[in-house]
Amino acid sequence: MTRLIPILLMSLALAVVAPAARAQDTPFGPVPTPEPTFAPAPGEGEVGQGTLYLVGLAVLLGVVGIGYAISRDARRSLSAEDRSALESETTPPAVPGEVSREARARARKQRSKAKAARAARKRNR
């Protein structure tokens, strides 16, 4: 009942505010004629396949150029200590099949979180 009153009030407000359709004042009046549409002349709307390839190539070169400019600017704006940190950052060669300590710790933590979530769901049934 409490939801019914606001719904009725909103529908009444929309019915009062909605304007009358002016096009239906005289239903037996003359029908308006649509504006004529003109077909394009032959050869005007056609684009060749070579032109499309050129446009695609230009877009691709533009995107690659923008990416190159952004990465070049990012390298230039590094501070000296950031640059030295990047140069000194070396990762040990990965041994196939071996998992790092950090990865094992992350997996252990993720498993414990999943176990706690399952237990919480069981408690809240």
**CA distance linking residue 84 with residue 81, whole number of Å:** 5
Locate the domains of the chain by residue range: 49-86
* 105, pLDDT greater than 80: yes
pTM (whole model) above 0.85: no
pLDDT in tens, 6-17: 888 888 777 766
Lowest-confidence region among 31-35, 62-66, 85-89: 85-89
pLDDT at residue 10 in the model? 84
* 23, pLDDT greater than 60: no
Average pLDDT over residues 91-100: 68
| 61 vs 87 pLDDT, higher one | 61
Closest CA to 102 of 117, 114, 91: 91
Mean pLDDT of the chain: 81
Average pLDDT over residues 41-54: 80
Closest CA to 83 of 96, 74, 70, 94: 74
pLDDT at residue 36 in the model? 83
* 43, pLDDT greater than 70: no
